[in-house]
Amino acid sequence: MLKEDCLGCRLANHLTETYVIYENDLLTCILDIAPIHEGHILILPKHHVQDLDELDQATALAIMIASAELSRALKACYQPDGITIMQNGGSFNDLGHYHMHVFPRFDADGFGWVEPVHEIDLHDRLDATHMDLKEALQRIRVVQK
């Protein structure tokens, strides 16, 4: 469903001018207006979805297929040293509409992952984390049935 006051919905459904790179029935892929590198693309579902866990299976599959095709196009066009694909959810989703970033990367380009400093050694918690997540996944699967 389209949400009229959502910029992501407006972009994905051609209600706001943008640069469309790829499109199908479920999604629209556009150039980011504040690119990290030339060729920075956003993949947007046409229906309103805010977070990854809200995507239906068909849209999620379409996003993954598009990300691979766009990666091939970026490699052919820019000959990057790599491709970064990322998605921010919750309060880190500055658009309020699900979107996946796909952009070329180059050695020493300055873009990087900054890991937070932890007060505790999370490596020591791997056994507990493993069990917590397996149990949570099992509970979610039971609820979905």
- Residue 118: the pLDDT is 72
pLDDT score of 145: 66
Distance CA 56, CA 99 (A): 14
pLDDT score recorded for residue 116: 80
pLDDT at 144 over 80: no
N-terminal to C-terminal alpha carbon distance within the chain: 24
Give the tens place of pLDDT for each residue, 103-114. Answer: 999 999 999 888
Average pLDDT over residues 80-101: 96
Question: Does the pLDDT of residue 143 top 80, yes or no?
Answer: no
**Are 33 and 39 contacting, i.e. CB atoms less than 8 angstroms apart?**
no
pLDDT at 46: 97
* pLDDT mean over 117-139: 87
As a whole number of angstroms, the distance between CA 51 and CA 45 comes to: 11
- Prediction pTM value: 0.88
Would the pLDDT of 80 be above 80?
yes
Q: Tens of pLDDT along 10-63? A: 999 999 999 999 999 999 999 999 999 999 999 999 999 999 999 999 999 999
Question: Tell me: the pLDDT tens digits for 54-71?
Answer: 999 999 999 999 999 999
135: how many CB neighbours lie within 10 A of its CB?
10
Say if residues 36 and 45 touch (Cβ distance below 8 Å): no
Q: The dihedral of CA 22, 36, 105, 83: what is its sign?
A: negative
